[in-house]
Chains A and B, each alone.
Chain A
Amino acid sequence: QVQLQESGPGLVKPSLTLSLTCTVSGGSISNGGYYWSWVRHHPEKGLEWIGNIYHDATTFYNPSLRGRLFILIDTSKNQFSLQLLSVTAADTAFYYCARGKRLSGMDVWGQGTAVIVSS
């Protein structure tokens, strides 16, 4: 069965770039039937969609993050990644990667990783 695992630094200084990687196991990220997502959870604000990427590198981003967000896919490593530029304390959250099917929601989630933005 497909499993996802997030990795990356848990602490990022303000104004720098947050980089996270999601490694997919048990299935191919090149499967065209799925999209690959990043979602974050703010305990006080709930779930927030960050963006999606498809196997052909087509991306869809949350408009509120567009301009400082990049989601990339590396099919050779079966990974996709998130880069969020110029982070602030508002980007402190628990970050999840997930797999979804068009119109059908996200059915497989990583365990998540905590990211704190602080100097």
Chain B
Amino acid sequence: SYELTQPPSVSVSPGQTASITCSGDKLGDKYASWYQKKAGQSPGLIIYEDNKRPSGVPERFSGSNSGNTATLTISGTQAMDEADYYCQAWDISSSSMIFGGGTKLTV
């Protein structure tokens, strides 16, 4: 079955750039989405179709996807960005939606 792999944790200093990776076989051939999940809150979509931001998502969030890796980049990271981040893609072969294991971002 298709799997997406994320680092369990990433640490960044306030104001610096955080990068969270998501790896999967030929992931670049699929569309990747990213979700932010804070404790006690519903997940929120922050990136879709690899690099598009829904309205209301700050410009400091950006995404890319190529080869086997999708990357979520947070520029000028703020304390409010501390959360769990999940990548997600659709696996056509199994007609399944796949989530990565999640990355805890500490600011």
Residues of A within 8 A of B (CB): 37, 39, 41, 45-49, 52, 60, 62-63, 96, 98, 103-107, 109-112
Contact = CB atoms under 8 A, between A and B. Distances in A.
Interface residues of B, number: 27
Contacts of A62: 96-97
A48 B88 contact: no
Main secondary structure of the interface of B (DSSP, over half): strand
Contact of B42 (A46, A52, A109): A109
B49 A104 contact: yes
Main secondary structure of the interface of A (DSSP, over half): strand
Given A47-B102, A49-B99, A111-B42, A63 B33 contact: no
Contacts of B43: 39, 41, 47, 96, 98, 106, 109
A117 B37 CA distance: 24
A110 B101 contact: no
Nearest to B52: A104
A39 B33 CA distance: 15
A46 B86 CA distance: 8
Contacts of B100: 46
A60 B94 CA distance: 9
A47 B99 contact: yes
B48 interface: yes
A96 B99 CA distance: 14
A59 B49 CA distance: 22
A46 B8 CA distance: 11
B15 interface: no
B31 A48 contact: no
Contacts of B49: 103-105
Contacts of B97: 37, 49, 52, 60, 62
26 contacts: A39-B43, A45-B101, A46-B84, A46-B86, A46-B100, A46-B101, A46-B102, A47-B99, A48-B99, A49-B88, A49-B96, A49-B99, A60-B95, A60-B96, A60-B97, A62-B97, A103-B49, A104-B33, A105-B33, A105-B48, A106-B35, A107-B45, A107-B48, A107-B54, A109-B44, A110-B42
